[in-house]
Amino acid sequence: MELTVLFGTFAVLLVAGLPVAFCLGLSSVAALSYLDVPVVIAFQRMAAGMNVFALMAIPFFIYAGELMHHSGVAERLVRLAESMLGRTRGGLGQVSVLSSMLFGAVSGSAVASASAMGAALIPILKEKGYEDDFAVNVTVTASTTGLLIPPSHNMIIYAVAAGGGVSIASLFLAGLVPGVLLGLSLMVVVHSLARKRGYPRGEFPGLSVVSKRFIGAIPGLLSAVIIVGGILSGVFTATESSAIAVVYTVFVSVVVYRSLDAQGFWRATLGAARTTAIVMWVIGTASAFGWVMAIAEVPSTLSGALLGFSNHPLVVILLINLILLFLGTFMDMSPLIIITTPIFLPVATGLGMDPVHFGVVLILNLGIGLVTPPVGSVLFVGCAVGGVPIEQCVRSIWPFYIAMILVLFVVITLPQLSLALPQLFD
């Protein structure tokens, strides 16, 4: 009965339009009240869920991404990508994908990437004759590459949800190849749609321009190199690297580029504070929700049901991914990582799946949920930036969905795509 209260309250509140964090928190309180457990425990679990040292990296990475956005780093990456791919068929669409991959390597946030790249490229795409829905769809789907290409704060959330036994450095390395593969698959879709719709080619600006823009983008791109290289070399931890990323970004923006003024710094600070508050609030309420599920023995019950469904490991893993794809359509990424990791990770590892590999699969899977209705936060951001109705985008986004799901299947069935780099640096 407690499960009926927990999930019933959550469903009613979600349908009523409350933010997911409030749905999680209030449904946890309702379930504890039904169990005659002091409600204050829910708030204690929320505080405990947020009071994890490794999570300190999240606000710093978010802050670094905001600083890069407001200091013009994103624009330099766009110009670099345009000089490299602008001459291809549908070149601006390819530029959007490559720009998102580059920006993801320095921000680690799909929402930040969709906002920054959308503001920079969607108006240009529309001006050059690209349909509105294409401009938004390529931007939002490409932004998910930043979830895999290091650094990614969602990888940190997964490592914490997994109990701290999974190396953040290994997760960062494991996401690189799948992230690039995802970007390349989206480029194939862009090329196919460009040929079908007759999108124009751009002009090659010359090697001198490409070299100049590449050199200009190096200081920004070095952020990812410093972060990952510092962690792998043992110079600093993942948490320390996030603070170093902020310091380095301020240095590059103020001293090297001289593009961050007081107003931009203030906007970046407010944006980072707002986003951090939302993320941490979601993490806290999801922790309380997960604790109530543990009391109700949901993880063990669901694990038994999954293992009883089939003895074939691949079948069970695919079933887990179908469940995650479904959940991702109406819940945001952070709470799902915290809630589903304790449930599905033991099942996956029991079937012989490496926890680092499972983390990459989980992040990629839930990343698809960020661009699917009805609760696709990245899709909402892209449509808002582009001024395009969600219904219009959803009608034509299916080729991108197919590419993303195919990449997910490849990453599931070929573990070495994720594990080769972590094993190389182990």
Distance from the first to the final alpha carbon of the chain: 47
pLDDT (0 to 100) of residue 395: 86
Cα–Cα distance, 56 to 241 (Å, whole number)? 11
**Which residue in this structure is represented by tokens 């079937």?**
351
Classify residue 177 as exposed, middle or buried by CB count within 10 Å of its CB (0-12, 13-18, 19+): buried
Classify residue 316 as exposed, middle or buried by CB count within 10 Å of its CB (0-12, 13-18, 19+): buried
**Which residue in this structure is represented by tokens 């751009």?**
202
Whether residue 76 contacts residue 278, with contact meaning beta carbons closer than 8 Å, is answered with: no
Please report, as a single letter, which amino acid is at residue 223: S
Cα–Cα distance, 293 to 373 (Å, whole number)? 26
Return the structure tokens found at 403.
């590419």
- SS3 of residue 354 by DSSP: coil
Nearest to 221 by CA among 177, 187, 188, 256: 256
pLDDT tens digits along 281-294 = 888 888 888 888 88
Whether residue 396 contacts residue 133, with contact meaning beta carbons closer than 8 Å, is answered with: yes
Instruction: Report CA torsion sign: 29, 35, 37, 42.
Output: negative
Please report, as a single letter, which amino acid is at residue 342: P
Whether residue 257 contacts residue 75, with contact meaning beta carbons closer than 8 Å, is answered with: no
DSSP letter, residue 373: S
Q: Which of 19-28, 95-104, 243-252, 297-306 has the lowest mean pLDDT?
A: 297-306
Q: Kindly give, in sequence order, each residue whose CB lies less than 8 Å from that of residue 373, ignoring residues fewer than 6 positions away.
A: 329, 379, 390, 394
Cα–Cα distance, 35 to 372 (Å, whole number)? 35
**Main-chain dihedrals φ then ψ at residue 382, nearest 5 degrees:** -60, -45
Virtual CA dihedral for 179, 185, 186, 187, nearest 10 degrees?
110
Average pLDDT over residues 55-70: 81
- SS3 of residue 331 by DSSP: coil
pLDDT tens digits along 112-166 = 777 777 777 788 778 777 888 888 899 899 989 988 988 888 898 899 888 878 8
pLDDT tens digits along 223-261 = 777 877 787 777 887 778 888 888 888 888 888 888 888
Higher pLDDT, 292 or 205: 292
pLDDT at residue 108 greater than cutoff 70: no
Nearest to 65 by CA among 279, 301, 230: 279
Task: Report residue 18's pLDDT band, with 50, 70 and 90 as the boundaries.
Answer: confident
Angle between helices 73-85 and 91-107 (to 10 degrees): 140
